[in-house]
Amino acid sequence: MRTLAIKRTTQNLIQTGIDVLFVAEQQKGIVDMNEQLKLCQCGGKAELRHKGNEYTKKRSSIIGCTAFGCTIQQVVSTMHRSLEWCDEKAIEKWNRRPIEDALNKQVTDYQIANELLTAKLAALNAKLTRITIDKRKLANKLQEHVS
Ligand SMILES: [Zn+2]
């Protein structure tokens, strides 16, 4: 009876140790993963969590905003692939910003257009300066002929 109790206690301790190590490794992984996450659209910090693990039927990677009241989240679940796959997909989806990317492209296009227009304006100003000088020279010549 006592041997059985000791055996159970030992098994429990080993299992607890394994669980602690698993959680620690998982948390370490999650911390590293969190560094890859862009801020939430609201400006809040994003955090990656897991639901289930490699031993459960279904597993999910959930990226959510930690800002109070913000419910924005990205969930990727699978039954046949690994949690790492879920993490990768969830991070890829979370970090995708189509509106921001489109706006950034527009800003770049406007900057290029602005540079072109600035160059054209400089060329026109140089031409105007030449014309003004020529006009003055002609006005002086005309003045000499008149007088
Ligand atoms: Zn948010």
Residue 21: per-residue pLDDT = 61
Domain with 42, as residue range(s), is: 2-96
Query: Residue 25 C-alpha to ligand 1 middle, in angstroms?
Result: 27
Residues 117 and 51 in one domain: no
Measure Cα distances from 35 to 27, 57, 59, 73 in Å.
13, 28, 22, 17
pLDDT at residue 18 above 80? no
Residues 10 and 51 in one domain: yes
Residues 71 and 30 in one domain: yes
Residues 29 and 76 in one domain: yes
Query: Residue 97 C-alpha to ligand 1 middle, in angstroms?
Result: 14
Query: Does residue 79 come out as left (phi exceeding 0), alpha (psi in the -120 to 50 range) or beta?
Result: alpha
| pLDDT tens-digit readout, 75-113 | 999 999 999 999 999 999 999 999 989 999 999 999 999
Residues 6 and 32 in one domain: yes
For the chain, how many residues are written? 147
Residues 8 and 52 in one domain: yes
Query: Residue 142 C-alpha to ligand 1 middle, in angstroms?
Result: 74
Max intra-chain CA distance, the chain: 134
Residues 103 and 77 in one domain: no
- For β-strands 59-65 and 46-51, DSSP reports them as antiparallel
Residue 54: per-residue pLDDT = 85
Q: What is the pTM of this model?
A: 0.55
Nearest CA to 29 among 92, 79, 78, 84?
84
Query: Residue 95 C-alpha to ligand 1 middle, in angstroms?
Result: 13
End residue of a domain, out of 77, 96, 115: 96
pLDDT at residue 121 above 80? yes
Query: Residue 65 C-alpha to ligand 1 middle, in angstroms?
Result: 4
Residue 6: per-residue pLDDT = 73
CA dihedral 90, 95, 98, 102 (to 10 degrees): -160
